Structure 1
Amino acid sequence: MITPIRAVPGPRFTAGCTISTWMHTGERLGMPLGYLLIGYGPPELPNESPDSIEDGLMGMVAAMGMRPVVEQVPECGPRLIMNGPITSFDYGHPEWTLRLPHPGAIWRAHVSAGRPVCVMIGLDPLQTGTSAQCVSAYLERACSKGRVYMGAATLRRF
């Protein structure tokens, strides 16, 4: 089987991405872990379709060497960038990064300390402004269908 080559999308695509960040302090892990979920809502623009959106998201997955959520989480390298109050994410495009809206002080402190963030890309439509419970339900559904890819990213130091 031949794996299709997908382009890494530019800013027109990423402007439509839905982004969620949070911390998990679960006892099973023994330490806090930061999370970053990148998704996309249902098609809204004339040139968007479920297939074109999935191609864009899979271009990001391929560029970062992410793996399905059921596999071992690969290291994706230093992709988180913090410059003053602005936090962005290098998703593999040669020129552009994805700005993360308000990840929160605790999440930023976690990243600043050099701790990893679990990055997930969900292929099923993800609405903007969803609550923590909705994100949790989304992940449960999408993971059970094999529609989430994962990788671990850290802070890029300049």
Structure 2
Amino acid sequence: MTESPTGQSAVPGPGFVAGCVVSTWLDVTPAGPVAWLLLGHPPPRRPGETTGCVEAGLRSIAAAMGLRRVVESVPYVGERLLIRGPITALDYGHPACLLRLPDPGPRWRAHLTRGGLACITLGLDSMPLGASRDAIDTYMRRSAAAGRALVGATGVRTR
């Protein structure tokens, strides 16, 4: 991973984010619907990839988006989602590319296009591919309790 002129790690490009695990879902709560976007990375599996370099890449993405540990409230990190026709993408802070999300479904997209927000959660610990909903819930609870989940609220970019 390269460093920016300011000495911080540069936001990783498409090669790194192509290996990320992305999950989206819509919870219906007594306070109303909550859209979720979970971003993580499986255990290192490519030549030269280590747990340390994966975490550094995830931390640079979190820093670029303004994600923070949950202390009292979830910070608003700006309009980072783009919905154009059937494509939904996340501006994760890279200057030249976006992260295309797997189809989040019509209810998730409708919630956001009507002005709702999504909670981005970035997990720093390894996340298995193909995890069940229960495994994701356990992962999020464990990561948040350990300070290993970074969050932010975002909406849809209209311009």
Same-fold status (TM-score > 0.5): yes
Instruction: Give the match for residue 118 of structure 1.
Output: 119
Structure 2 counterpart of 1:113, which letter?
R
Instruction: Give the match for residue 20 of structure 2.
Output: 17
Instruction: Give the match for residue 107 of structure 2.
Output: 106
Deviations 1:24-45 (A, max 9, x none): 1122xx1111000000000000
**Percent identity of equivalent pairs:** 45
Distance 1:44 1:38 in 2: 17
Moved over 2 A (4+): 69-72
RMSD: 1.1
Secondary structure in structure 1 of the residue aligned to 2:131: coil
Deviations 1:100-147 (A, max 9, x none): 001011001011111110001000011121111110011111111110
Offset at residue 71 of structure 1 (A)? 4.2
Q: Unmatched 5+ residue regions in structure 2?
A: 1-6
Is contact 1:6-1:62 (8 Å) kept?
no
1:54 equivalent in alignment to 2:55: yes
Instruction: Give the match for residue 152 of structure 1.
Output: 153
Distance 1:49 1:114 in 2: 39
Is contact 1:79-1:154 (8 Å) kept?
yes
Secondary structure in structure 2 of the residue aligned to 1:25: strand
TM-score normalized by the length of structure 2 = 0.93
Q: Number of aligned pairs?
A: 153
Structure 1 counterpart of 2:26, which letter?
M
Secondary structure in structure 1 of the residue aligned to 2:141: helix
Distance 1:85 1:150 in 2: 26
Distance 1:6 1:118 in 2: 24
Instruction: Give the match for residue 87 of structure 2.
Output: 86
Q: Unmatched 5+ residue regions in structure 1?
A: none
Structure 2 counterpart of 1:75, which letter?
Y
Secondary structure in structure 1 of the residue aligned to 2:62: helix
